Chains A and B, each alone.
Chain A
Amino acid sequence: MKLLNGKNLHHKLIFYIFLAALIFISVVTFISFRIEMNHANQKAAIMINQLIETIEPTAAIAVYSNNAQVAQDVLNGLLRNDVVYKAVITSDQGLSLEKTKGTQAEHQKEIIRELFSPFGDRKSIGQLSIVPNASFSLSEAKYAALANAINSFILVGLTLLIMLVVIHSLFSKPLMRISNTLRDILAGEQQRIAPLENNKNDELGGLVVNINKILELLTTKLSTQQVLRKRVEIAEKKLRNIFQSTSAGLFLLDKEGKVVTCTPTLFKILGYEDNQLIAINGQDFATLFFKEPSQFQQMMQNALELEQLEAQDLMLHNDTEENPLWVHCLLSKIVDAFGMTRFEGVIFDISKRIATEKAMRYEANHDALTGLLRRNAAELQLRKHLASAKSASTIVLLLDLDGFKKANDTYGHDVGDIVLIKTARLLESCVRHNDIVCRLGGDEFLIILFNCDPISTGFTIAEEIITAIKMPVTINAEVTINIGVSIGIALFPMHGTTVENLIKSADEAMYEVKRKGKNGYGIKNKNGVISVNRASAQKRQQNTVH
């Protein structure tokens, strides 16, 4: 078995030949045994007949003379031969002698010879019968068959041995050499197989020539391929460079909007670092990246139904007020080579543009000096708010600084500006987070308080503002500015349901406060009379008096 699995071809070959020879030898041995058996039987018969010829005269004498002693001697003599199993002498005068040797299982045909008188006429006077010894024939046949088998074995064995050597030296060795050389060639150390000296003109020599031809062809093809591969590599590199360095993020989605593939730029645009490995493939593109996935899903829907290029600006999921992240997205439906419906799209980073737009909008809406909202923006917001369901308990405060003009004239615009900025910060600090502080222009401000329930909160805030503004503003060691504020208050919807009416009412109240001595707040009563509260101012004046 080991031979069978062995790597040597000649061992295998010899093994099979040996196996076949074994079968043939067995068959031949069997047949030869049968033939030898037959032959041995014939030989035994011949031998017995010859024996009979030898002892016939004596046997005839014994029978003729009726002499038991002679007959006995004859039988003894016969049985001394291996080939005889049983011998019997009978005579017509009553003599009958029988002698056997050992036992015999197999029945053998007896050989009978009539005995005639030694003198004269050919008249039978008795019989000599001999039964051949079966084991003689058997052992003869066995011996002959065995000898045949051994002969065959020796011949076959020697032949196989010679074949082994011949096959090994004629086939296996040259083949091994070719094989080894081929292996080395694959390792790139050698280019061709050296011709075999002894096999130049036979099949093995032909094999070597053909292999060399193939190698030659391979070398040519390989070098051609190498050139081609180099070209492809360069082309591919160019394409990859374009693909990787493009500022547009390209993506391919399946019909459900799951990512099939995308460019690295997409990650950057979408706010991921290069090394931030995220398994994006197979995920839903819309929910993964956009703040409002439904917008993108609508685009997909449109692209699918209208079969046209969809374009939209979309906000990314990690967009914030401070750091707006916007992209411009182009999306269209395609059908790929396999007949699958896909979406291909491009994303451009438009965050800078959006940021610029935002900054411009901010500039338009906010006062450059104080950073507070401008009148238009504030009125717009107020209008929106009044139109909404949460409009109740909205309070509008109209403020005008007292003594600012004088300070401005005395110390110059720079000091005036500082006062305005400080005032703006003070106002912001007095209102609640959601309330709006707006600079109407000059030293006029507008404050909108939302959801001011109870209304007294508005008054409290007004008082806080008056107190805060009254605090002296230190510009430098020499200059300290003292200003005050007059506040007119209007309530929605009591003093008006429109922005204009509310501001007008507050304006009237504010002027009433100015008239009544400034530093206070005023509000129109139900009956149209404006009541002015200067409590904090008075308190303060009292404090200064004492």
Chain B
Amino acid sequence: MYFNTLKKIFTAAVLCFFTADTHAEIVVIGNLKNDLKSLNSMQVESIFMGRKRPLPNGRVALPIDQSGLRPEFYEKLTARPIEQINAYWAILTFTGKASPPMLSPDDNAVLGMVNKHRDAIGYIDSKNVNNSVRVLLRLN
């Protein structure tokens, strides 16, 4: 038992070290005009996976994906590989009743969309964050 526990702790520590080293921090951002101050990861997951689009303040969120950070973002958010996320969307898209978030090419395009739409919620590398958007959640 002890051995197993120790092994888990060790593995977790190693994993933390590597992720911190190789991956950048991703931040979830929203429009400043939106009075939303922050979101937890569950809320972000619900919005991006199409489970629950309405925001706590009553407005309907507009999630925006971006090609560059997409695998990393979903991995951080749901701990699932991107293939599984794609399969999920494939199933839902097939019904015709749901669709994945709109896809932007990079951080700038996301910033632009967030600035433009009051209900837009996107994610970008934390290095590219500026004051024109509000950071709602940080994903490490």
Q: Is B91 close to A, CB under 8 A?
A: yes
A66: chain B residues at CB < 8 Å are 51
A65 near B45 (CB under 8 angstroms)?
no
Within 8 A of B (CB), among A49-92: 58, 61, 64-70
Beta-carbon nearest neighbor of B80 in chain A: A119
A119: chain B residues at CB < 8 Å are 45, 49, 77-80
- Report the separation of the CA atoms of residues A164 and B78 in the bound assembly, to the nearest whole angstrom: 76
A121: chain B residues at CB < 8 Å are 42
Within 8 A of A (CB), among B49-105: 49-52, 77-80, 84, 88, 91-92, 95-98
- Report the separation of the CA atoms of residues A87 and B98 in the bound assembly, to the nearest whole angstrom: 24
Size of chain A's interface in residues, with CB distance under 8 A? 14
Beta-carbon nearest neighbor of A69 in chain B: B95
A120 near B79 (CB under 8 angstroms)?
yes
B52: chain A residues at CB < 8 Å are 93
- Report the separation of the CA atoms of residues A23 and B51 in the bound assembly, to the nearest whole angstrom: 64
B51 near A64 (CB under 8 angstroms)?
yes
B45: chain A residues at CB < 8 Å are 119-120
- Report the separation of the CA atoms of residues A68 and B95 in the bound assembly, to the nearest whole angstrom: 9
- Report the separation of the CA atoms of residues A191 and B7 in the bound assembly, to the nearest whole angstrom: 101
B92 near A61 (CB under 8 angstroms)?
yes
Kindly supply a per-residue 1/0 record for chain A positions 201-217, scoring 1 wherever the CB is within 8 Å of any chain B CB and 0 otherwise: 00000000000000000
Please give the distance in Å from A115's CB to the nearest CB on chain B.
13
Q: A61-B91, A65-B49, A67-B92 are in contact. Are A120 and B97 (CB under 8 A)?
A: no
- Report the separation of the CA atoms of residues A77 and B88 in the bound assembly, to the nearest whole angstrom: 18
Q: A119-B45, A120-B45 are in contact. Are A65 and B51 (CB under 8 A)?
A: yes
A67: chain B residues at CB < 8 Å are 92, 95, 97-98
| The one of B50, B78, B88, B95 that contacts A120, using a Cβ cutoff of 8 Å | B78
- Report the separation of the CA atoms of residues A121 and B42 in the bound assembly, to the nearest whole angstrom: 9
Please give the distance in Å from B94's CB to the nearest CB on chain A.
8
Please give the distance in Å from A484's CB to the nearest CB on chain B.
187
B96: chain A residues at CB < 8 Å are 69
Q: Is A493 close to B, CB under 8 A?
A: no
A70 near B79 (CB under 8 angstroms)?
no
Beta-carbon nearest neighbor of A123 in chain B: B42
B51 near A118 (CB under 8 angstroms)?
no
| The one of A70, A93, A118 that contacts B95, using a Cβ cutoff of 8 Å | A70
- Report the separation of the CA atoms of residues A67 and B90 in the bound assembly, to the nearest whole angstrom: 13
Please give the distance in Å from A196's CB to the nearest CB on chain B.
81
Within 8 A of B (CB), among A95-122: 118-121
Within 8 A of A (CB), among B34-50: 42, 45, 49-50
B92 near A118 (CB under 8 angstroms)?
no
A64 near B95 (CB under 8 angstroms)?
no
A61: chain B residues at CB < 8 Å are 88, 91-92
Please give the distance in Å from A70's CB to the nearest CB on chain B.
6
B49 near A70 (CB under 8 angstroms)?
no
Please give the distance in Å from A77's CB to the nearest CB on chain B.
13
B92: chain A residues at CB < 8 Å are 61, 65, 67, 70
A118 near B88 (CB under 8 angstroms)?
yes
B95: chain A residues at CB < 8 Å are 67, 69-70
A64: chain B residues at CB < 8 Å are 49, 51
B50: chain A residues at CB < 8 Å are 65
- Report the separation of the CA atoms of residues A118 and B88 in the bound assembly, to the nearest whole angstrom: 9
Kindly supply a per-residue 1/0 record for chain A positions 415-433, scoring 1 wherever the CB is within 8 Å of any chain B CB and 0 otherwise: 0000000000000000000
- Report the separation of the CA atoms of residues A86 and B127 in the bound assembly, to the nearest whole angstrom: 54
- Report the separation of the CA atoms of residues A119 and B52 in the bound assembly, to the nearest whole angstrom: 14
Please give the distance in Å from B74's CB to the nearest CB on chain A.
8
- Report the separation of the CA atoms of residues A414 and B47 in the bound assembly, to the nearest whole angstrom: 194
Please give the distance in Å from B14's CB to the nearest CB on chain A.
21
- Report the separation of the CA atoms of residues A432 and B96 in the bound assembly, to the nearest whole angstrom: 170
- Report the separation of the CA atoms of residues A305 and B140 in the bound assembly, to the nearest whole angstrom: 153
Please give the distance in Å from A327's CB to the nearest CB on chain B.
138
Beta-carbon nearest neighbor of B45 in chain A: A119
Q: A118-B84, A119-B79, A119-B80 are in contact. Are A58 and B49 (CB under 8 A)?
A: no
Please give the distance in Å from A143's CB to the nearest CB on chain B.
37
A93: chain B residues at CB < 8 Å are 52
B51: chain A residues at CB < 8 Å are 64-66
- Report the separation of the CA atoms of residues A67 and B77 in the bound assembly, to the nearest whole angstrom: 22
A65: chain B residues at CB < 8 Å are 49-51, 88, 92, 98
Beta-carbon nearest neighbor of B41 in chain A: A120
- Report the separation of the CA atoms of residues A470 and B49 in the bound assembly, to the nearest whole angstrom: 193
Please give the distance in Å from B61's CB to the nearest CB on chain A.
15
Please give the distance in Å from A505's CB to the nearest CB on chain B.
181
A120: chain B residues at CB < 8 Å are 45, 77-80
Known: A66-B51, A67-B97, A120-B45; 9 extra A-B contacts, CB below 8 A, are A64-B49, A65-B88, A65-B92, A67-B95, A69-B97, A119-B49, A119-B77, A119-B79, A120-B80
5 closest Cβ pairs, A-B complex: A119-B78, A69-B95, A120-B78, A65-B92, A61-B91
What are some 13 contacts across the A-B interface (CB < 8 A)? A61-B88, A61-B92, A64-B51, A65-B50, A65-B51, A65-B88, A67-B92, A69-B96, A70-B92, A118-B80, A118-B84, A120-B45, A120-B80
